[in-house]
């Protein structure tokens, strides 16, 4: 019951792969994960699940509060970087945000959260689960 | 046309998200931590919220008040939401980029006017456009923005 089982099952359901039915070779999505990609997947999934335009900003603020243990205002002020430029955060902070976004996405899928409020709730739950692995949150 | 209740609910949702992003206490439990019925009543029961709106926009019984408030907080909550410049640019130009946005749908012109009056907006749009044309993974967004006529609103 590891990743392979999951991978085979989820690929079978994928409608795009139905085109290749009958062929033996399985098609593997080999895109490299990155912070931007994790962030975008979370955003797209939330959108698919009936997010409003304000869901994502709240999830985003929750990510900073939970994963970095700071209020977003304090964080950006103390580091002296503009508020809308996340790429200039220290590398460790960006890694934590990426881990958090992945955890939040899994939690949303797990809870099958739909709509503005359930989505924020699930995402926050995901961030809280993931934050413990970082030293500064202990 | 949006109903008065919808305008009020939208205003509250945006006001609440703004407080949350600023790590400020919204004087009530966060709507996503309470049940549906309580969440629906919050815009009517949260006194500091009502005082805020009354002081800034006037009589709570008038439609005009809620319309102005909804537009203002829609703009402010987005600019103070710590999104990346590019995401703000896409939200302002691509319909439903982040999800459904009733205020953007119904009051796009007013919302754009309000955004341009906010001090950081031009800077954000500028940085967003730079990201848009520098990052190779954004071709989809680029095509959508170029296809939408909204680009004419932007100072490029």
Over residues B60-98, the pLDDT tens digits come to: 999 999 999 999 999 999 988 888 888 999 999 888 889
**Does the pLDDT of residue B156 top 50, yes or no?**
no
Lowest pLDDT segment from A55-69, A111-125, B139-153: B139-153
Over residues B39-49, mean pLDDT: 93
pLDDT band at B136 (very low <50, low <70, confident <90, very high): confident
3-class DSSP string for A27-67: CCCCCCCCHHHHHHHHHHHHHHCCCECCHHHHHHHHHHHHH
Residue A130: the pLDDT is 95
Interface of A with B (CB under 8 A): 36-37, 43, 46-47, 50-58, 60-62, 64-65, 71-74, 76, 82-87, 116-118, 120-121, 124
Residue A22: the pLDDT is 52
Contact B120, A19 (CB under 8 A): no
Q: How far apart are CA B77 and CA B81, in angstroms?
A: 6
- In the predicted model, what is the mean pLDDT of chain A? 86
The pTM of this model reads 0.86
Residues of B in contact with A97 (CB under 8 A): none
The ranges assigned to domains in chain A are 33-137
Q: Nearest residue of B to residue A31 by CA position?
A: B137
Nearest CB to B84 within list A47, A76, A84: A84
Residues of A in contact with B91 (CB under 8 A): 53
The ranges assigned to domains in chain B are 1-82, 83-156
Residues of A in contact with B39 (CB under 8 A): 117
ipTM of the complex: 0.86
**Does the pLDDT of residue A80 top 60, yes or no?**
yes
């Amino acid at each position: 019951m590891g990743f392979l089982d999951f991978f085979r099952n989820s690929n079978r359901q994928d409608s795009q792969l139905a085109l290749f039915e009958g062929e033996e070779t399985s098609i593997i999505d080999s895109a490299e994960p990155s912070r931007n990609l994790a962030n975008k997947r979370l955003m797209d999934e939330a959108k698919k699940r009936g997010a409003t335009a304000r869901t994502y900003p709240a999830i985003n603020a929750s990510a900073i509060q939970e994963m970095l243990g700071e209020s977003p205002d304090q964080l950006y002020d103390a580091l002296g970087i503009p508020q809308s430029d996340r790429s200039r955060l220290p590398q460790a902070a960006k890694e934590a945000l990426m881990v958090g976004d992945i955890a939040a996405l899994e939690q949303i899928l797990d809870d099958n959260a739909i709509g503005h409020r359930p989505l924020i709730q699930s995402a926050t739950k995901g961030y809280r689960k993931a934050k413990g692995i970082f030293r500064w949150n202990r | 046309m949006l109903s008065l209740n919808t305008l009020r609910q939208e205003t509250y949702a945006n006001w609440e998200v703004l407080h949350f992003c600023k790590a400020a206490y919204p004087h009530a439990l966060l709507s996503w931590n309470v049940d549906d019925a309580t969440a629906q009543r919050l815009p009517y029961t949260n006194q500091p919220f009502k005082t805020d709106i009354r002081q800034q926009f006037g009589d709570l019984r008038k439609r005009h008040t809620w319309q102005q408030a909804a537009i203002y907080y829609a703009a402010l909550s987005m600019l103070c939401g710590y999104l990346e410049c590019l995401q703000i640019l896409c939200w302002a130009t691509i319909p439903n980029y982040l999800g459904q946005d009733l205020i953007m749908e119904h009051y796009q012109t007013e919302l754009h006017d309000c955004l341009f009056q906010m001090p950081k907006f031009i800077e954000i749009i500028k940085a967003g456009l730079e990201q848009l044309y520098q990052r190779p993974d954004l071709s989809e967004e680029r095509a959508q923005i170029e296809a939408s006529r909204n680009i004419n609103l932007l100072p490029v």
